[in-house]
């Protein structure tokens, strides 16, 4: 068979049969290529579907095993929880650090207690896998009134204490300040209970509202709820606390008078007479407020936590708290 090349001058001509056979051959090749491509695509699709099915099955099996073996309760001592190490100091050549294992807590508290009325009695509970597993076992968590209260003081370190204590697996705490005993007491204990997180048998329910400590009516109201309530008070150097309080307020009120103009009776501090009726100073006169609480509760039911030690030695201070509220020791120092 002779095929002429472009540019060559010759008189060769294609035979009709030759052209037809060439076209048939090209069509056959195209059909085979399309078939092979289709077959290859089907194989890839099948392998992809099989791989994804196996992956999903393995994930589901792993989740079921995790829920059955470790989903009932989370313990701080388990190796699966992330670790936070806070370096502290060296004593006698030994390096100390605070070791905290973070236990996931899904309760975030009520965003705005004032926006909820007494008729809202939602029975929603924690939607985490742990509690879904418990409901299947007939161990549905319930809401209850708090066993312990962080009652003060403002700018003393109450938020730090709450965040530390919430790391404990046996503690469930409302995430926001409920202000039940000083603002919403007329709504009743049923309203208060529905602002508490769902808890299991044996878990400690807590709430933090710093203004409780300085509000006159609160001690008697807490006693009416439960005379055995444990009370935690975070105290701090009164001067440092007052300055911190003033700084927070003045940052929201431009043009506010200087601290010394408000803290002293003559506005200069020259006479040394402190105005104890001014809010930031008044809160720091701890003895005045403590006297009202001691009329309703014995001193043994109150724990005074040092706001300064929560900063410089948090592990030691949290050890005191855990012992006092009868919690297992879960936050400590590793040498």
- Was 159 annotated as part of a binding site? yes
**271 annotated as ligand-binding:** no
Q: Per the domain annotation, does 72 fall within a domain?
A: no
Q: What confidence score (pLDDT) does residue 20 get?
A: 60
Least confident stretch, 94-98, 235-239, 261-265, 318-322: 94-98
Structural domain including 96 reads: 83-115+128-334
Could you tell me the sign of the dihedral formed by the alpha carbons of 228, 119, 152, 98, in that order? Answer: positive
Q: How many angstroms from the chain centroid is the CA of residue 90?
A: 31
CA angle 249, 252, 258 (to 5 degrees): 55
Between 287 and 40, name the one with better pLDDT. Answer: 287
In this structure, how many other beta carbons lie within 10 angstroms of the beta carbon of residue 250? 15
191 within a domain of the structure (yes/no): yes
Is 236 annotated to bind ligand?
A: yes
Mean pLDDT of 183-197: 97
- pLDDT of residue 138 exceeding 80, the answer is no
Whether 219 maps to a domain, the answer reads yes
Q: Tell me the pTM.
A: 0.61
Question: Is residue 40 in a domain?
Answer: no
155 is catalytic: yes
Q: Are 262 and 297 spatial neighbours (Cβ–Cβ below 8 Å)?
A: no
**Sign (positive or negative) of CA dihedral 318, 323, 325, 327:** positive
3-class DSSP state of 88: strand
13 located within any domain: no
For residues 68, 74, 75 and 77, what is the CA-based torsion angle, rounded to 10 degrees? 80
247 annotated to bind ligand: no
Give me the catalytic one of 130, 154, 155, 208: 155
pLDDT in the model for residue 42: 75
- Taking the alpha carbons at both ends of the chain, their separation in whole angstroms is 93
Look at residue 135 in the predicted model and tell me its pLDDT: 54
Question: How would residue 332 be classed by pLDDT, with cut points 50, 70 and 90?
Answer: low
Instruction: Report whether 175 belongs to an annotated binding site.
Output: no
Longest dimension (CA), the chain: 126
CATH code (residue 263):
3.40.50.300
Find residue 90's DSSP bridge partners. 95
Q: What is the pLDDT of residues 253-288, one digit of tens each?
A: 988 999 988 998 876 655 678 999 999 999 999 999
Write down the pLDDT at residue 328.
78
Q: Is residue 14 part of a domain?
A: no
DSSP string for residues in 36-60: HHHHHHHHHHHHHHHHHHHHHHHHH
Task: Tell whether residue 244 is among the known ligand binding residues.
Answer: yes
The pLDDT tens digits for 139-189 are: 789 999 999 999 999 999 999 999 999 999 999 999 899 999 999 999 999
Please, are residues 164 and 314 in contact by the beta-carbon 8 Å criterion? Answer: yes
What is the total count of domains within the chain?
1
Evaluate whether residue 197 is within a structural domain. yes
- What does the pLDDT average to over 43-51? 68
106 within a domain of the structure (yes/no): yes
Helix axes 158-165, 314-324, angle to 10 degrees: 70
């Amino acid at each position: 068979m002779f095929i002429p090349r472009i540019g060559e001058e010759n008189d060769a001509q294609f035979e009709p049969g030759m052209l037809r056979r060439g076209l048939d051959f090209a069509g056959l090749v195209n059909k085979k290529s399309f078939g092979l491509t289709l077959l290859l695509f089907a194989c890839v699709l099948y392998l992809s579907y099989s791989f994804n099915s196996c992956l999903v099955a393995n994930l589901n099996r792993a989740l079921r095993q995790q829920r059955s073996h470790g989903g009932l309760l989370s313990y701080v001592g388990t190796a699966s929880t992330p670790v936070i190490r806070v370096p502290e100091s060296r004593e006698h050549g030994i390096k100390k650090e605070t070791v905290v294992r973070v236990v996931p807590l899904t309760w975030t508290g009520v965003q705005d207690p004032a926006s909820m009325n007494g008729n809202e009695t939602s029975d929603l509970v924690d939607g985490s896998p742990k509690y879904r597993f418990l409901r299947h076992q007939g161990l549905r968590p319930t809401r209850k009134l708090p066993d312990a209260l962080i009652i003060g003081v403002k700018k003393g370190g109450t938020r730090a204490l709450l965040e530390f204590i919430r790391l404990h697996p046996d503690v469930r705490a409302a995430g926001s300040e409920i202000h039940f005993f000083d603002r919403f007491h007329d709504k009743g204990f049923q309203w208060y209970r529905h602002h508490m997180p769902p808890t299991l048998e044996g878990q400690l329910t807590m709430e933090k509202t710093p203004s409780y400590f300085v509000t006159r009516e609160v001690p008697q109201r807490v006693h009416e709820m439960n005379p055995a309530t444990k009370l935690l008070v975070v105290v701090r150097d009164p001067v440092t606390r007052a300055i911190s309080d003033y700084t927070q307020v003045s940052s929201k009120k431009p043009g506010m008078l200087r601290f010394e103009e408000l803290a002293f009776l003559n506005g200069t501090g020259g006479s040394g007479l402190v105005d104890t009726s001014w809010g930031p100073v008044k809160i720091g006169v701890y003895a005045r407020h403590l006297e009202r609480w001691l009329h309703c509760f014995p001193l043994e039911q109150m724990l005074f936590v040092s706001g300064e030690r929560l900063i410089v030695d948090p592990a030691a201070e949290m050890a005191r708290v855990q012992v006092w509220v009868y919690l297992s020791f879960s936050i400590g120092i590793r040498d």
